[in-house]
Amino acid sequence: MVSVTVSTLGRPKLEKVNSGLDGVVVAETVVSEVDGKLGRLIIKGVDAETLGFTSTFEETCSLLWQGLVPETMTLAEMKQAFYQGRCEAFQLAQENLSLFKRSEPMEVLRTTTSLLSGGIEKTLAAYIKIAAAVGFFAATWSRVQKGLEPLAPDANLSQAGDLLRMLTDKMPTAEEIAALDTYLTTVSDHGMNASTFTARVVASTESDNVSCVVAAIGALKGPLHGGAPGPVLEMLNEIGSPDKAEAWLVNELDHGKRIMGMGHRIYQVRDPRAAIFEKAISLLEEQNHSGSERLLLARAVERNAERILAERHPEKPLKANVEFYTAVLLDTLKIHHLSFSSMFAAGRVGGWLAHIAEQRALGRLIRPASTYIGSHG
């Protein structure tokens, strides 16, 4: 066995390593602001709750890309361009149907998105083509898994409306479309998260837009970033009723397990997106004149989880995060839980593209440093 001594002689003093980049500012951005202390999310100058309940996904993308892309479109032109983007994606899906038969939705989304053509254009047409396709591919995977064929896009429907029609195989109501628009808009951007940073790193190399988005999808595929909404639904199904919530949660924690949908790396208070989705579910129920046992259960689980976690970890605030009510909202819209992460990508792609445009304008390669701690021979 060879013994190796690592010498620092003649080398610069070691800098403190921040492996997770917590608190490290890597860019100035106009796209969004996340206030972890106050629990506030601002998207292009608009509070996320206001935007979520007043904007369609097309309008949200227009806002996100405004000032970062030189040209503008009317809402009618945006809607038509998204329809054309879904039509191009439909053609690709027909030509590559076997890809959608794979069982892992994010793997399929990553692969099918990579089939899109394009360069480094900063144009609305180029961005809409990608954004429309990501949502279409996510919905088409769900259809094919049910034994259904890809569904040709409907020019009369918005992006949210057409995706719901494909996902549920029925014409959605105006209230259901509004709820999905709330979801897609609210998740469209969220500061310098892992997938957004990934997209910006790739954009800084002057790679093409599709490669940037495919890389971002790869980052979102990781369970520490985009993989928790499904398990929340499984948790709620296991608990079953509000009166069983406390005992179930205590048992999970006693066995060293995590409570899904609780806690966030940035927020010290309740995730504002959880509040938006809870309200969206409530509105959907009021409009449909229906009561949801699932929403009552979710609220009971959240209350109990927050209290129990505060008792066990008073030093660490663990409140409901975006995944908690994402699960309930998308389930209420009859979207299968295996599609939750890919539907998240269908919304977040709007923000990814805004950050890609912003990074391209800087014209500087992202190239951080590292500290070598190995042998010098």
Task: Tell me the catalytic residues.
Answer: 264, 323
Integer Cα distance of 310 and 308 in angstroms = 5
Q: Would you state the structure tokens that stand for residue 70, as one six-digit string?
A: 């030189």
Phi, psi of 222 (to 5 degrees): -65, 135
Integer Cα distance of 281 and 276 in angstroms = 9
Residue identified by tokens 């997209």 is 199
Task: Give the residue among 351, 329, 55, 304 at the shortest CA–CA distance from 187.
Answer: 351
How far is C-alpha 259 from the chain's CA centre? 20
Q: Would you state the structure tokens that stand for residue 119, as one six-digit string?
A: 């360069």
In sign, the C-alpha dihedral spanning 113, 131, 47, 300 is negative
DSSP 8-state code for residue 24: -
Integer Cα distance of 85 and 350 in angstroms = 14
Task: Give the residue among 262, 193, 267, 265 at the shortest CA–CA distance from 38.
Answer: 267
- SS3 for 32? strand
Neighbour-count burial of 69, counting CB atoms closer than 10 A to its CB (0-12 exposed, 13-18 middle, 19+ buried): buried
